[in-house]
Amino acid sequence: MRKPSTLLAMTLLLAACASPQPPAGGASTPVPVAAAPEASASQASGAVATAGAAPSAAPTSAAAVAPAATPGPASCGALGCLLFDTPVQAFSRVLESSPRVLAVGESHAQQGNEGVASATKRFTESFLPLLSGKASDLIVELWAVDPSCNKQKVAKVQEEQKAVTQSQAQGNQSEFVTLGHEAKRLGVVPDILRPSCAEYDAILKAGQGSIDQMLEMIARLTAAKAKALLARESMAGKMVVAYGGALHNDLAPGPGRERWSFGPELQAHTGGKYVELDIIVREFIKDTDSWKALPWYAHFKRDENPDKAILFNPAPGSYVLIFPRSS
């Protein structure tokens, strides 16, 4: 069986994680990974659906959801902090709201943390099985390259992306492929984004604003894809899940970031049945300005309850799940 990298003929954009330092204007940067641009959209879709990278550990059974949560420490205050024995229990609590759209954002693994399981790996192995039968589709932040687009322009966009991928762990790309592969195995259709040639032109014309243009495009395409999926007659009782960086799913994006988030648009479209969930690997949290700006950071005590999963609820429909300390 071929390796995922040989099947993945698309541009991969793992955008807007919380940990990198923000660019001018205070926003988080996207962290893309380039792959061969010459494949068709149908080939790209097939790569996500059939890539042969199996998860490195058996997925957690949905039956392992009990017992109930215990109240969080008093320092969590109004953020509704809860402690759980396992991350699966915390994720199950989030699902109790029965959203039409569940938008999961992660902090991407960075170089130097290869010994710590990433958020993508944990989501794939532990959370994805709970979505089987509940979710129809999983929209993953993968770009399918239209073969009719100018190859030189596509290559230039990929070159611009390299500046913001240098700090990213090398395994991120294959883990996103594994996520799509495992979703299909569980009966959840993996979906990707399909930028037009005009989108690539707009990114290049933006010059120094190219990253801003990419972030805006991701939000726009994801919202359009989710709306199209929700409109199907076969959607009765099922949700659409979006998985990507912890920026595009914001229900209350910060000033200047409004165009980068599909949260408010999909919340309105679903009549409030939208849930934003950020999943955070405890070891990735740093004492940097970008982390400190997050609403839950001041309430997070790194040395308290390190073996528990922590679930913050900063606002209605908004959750932050912090994994226990790694073994």
Burial, 46: exposed, middle or buried (Cβ in 10 Å; 0-12, 13-18, 19+)?
middle
Average confidence (pLDDT) over 88-114: 88
- Judge contact between 237 and 66, C-beta under 8 A: no
Q: Which helix (H) or strand (E) holds 174?
A: helix 172-185
Convert 75-112 to b/e letters by CB count within 10 Å (16 or more is b): ebeebebbbbbbbbbbbbbbbeeebbbbbbbbbbbbee
CA-to-CA distance for 312 and 321, rounded, in angstroms? 6
At 171, is the pLDDT very low, low, confident or very high (cuts 50, 70, 90)? low
Q: Measured between alpha carbons, how far is 222 from 191 in angstroms, rounded to an integer? A: 10
- Does the pLDDT at position 59 exceed 80? no
Average pLDDT, the chain: 78
Of 69-83, 230-244, 298-312, minimum mean pLDDT range: 69-83
Q: Which helix (H) or strand (E) holds 309?
A: strand 309-315
DSSP 82-119: EEESSHHHHHHHHHTT--SEEEEEEPPPBTT-TTS--H
Instruction: Please give the residue that has the higher pLDDT: either 165 or 224.
Output: 224
DSSP one-letter code for 283: G
Q: What Cα–Cα distance (Å) separates residue 151 from each residue in 30, 36, 144, 211, 244? A: 22, 10, 13, 19, 26
> In whole angstroms, what separates CA 197 from the centre of its chain?
24
pLDDT at position 29: 34
Q: Is the pLDDT of residue 8 over 70?
A: no
What is d(CA 321, CA 260) in angstroms, rounded to the nearest whole number? 22
Quote helix, strand, coil % in the chain, to nearest 5. 40, 20, 45
Residue 10 has pLDDT above 80, yes or no: no
Percent of the chain at pLDDT > 70 equals 71
Contact 178, 138 (CB under 8 A): no
Residues 6+ apart with CB under 8 A from 36: 8, 9, 10
Question: Could you give the count of Cα atoms lying within 13 Å of 64 in the half-sphere of its Cβ?
Answer: 12
Distance of alpha carbon 44 from alpha carbon 82, whole angstroms: 40
More confident residue, 39 or 221: 221
pLDDT digits (tens, 9 = 90+) for 236-255: 789 999 999 888 999 999 89
Check pLDDT > 70 for residue 257: yes
Mean pLDDT along residues 185-206: 93
Instruction: Report which secondary-structure segment, H or E, holds 48.
Output: helix 41-50
Written as one string, the DSSP assignment of 208-277 is: GGHHHHHHHHHHHHHHHHHHHHHTSGGGTT-EEEEEEETTTT-SSPPTT-GGG--HHHHHHHTTT-EEEE
Number of CB atoms found within 10 A of residue 18's CB: 25
For the chain, what's the residue count? 327
CA–CA dist 312, 327 (Å, integer): 22
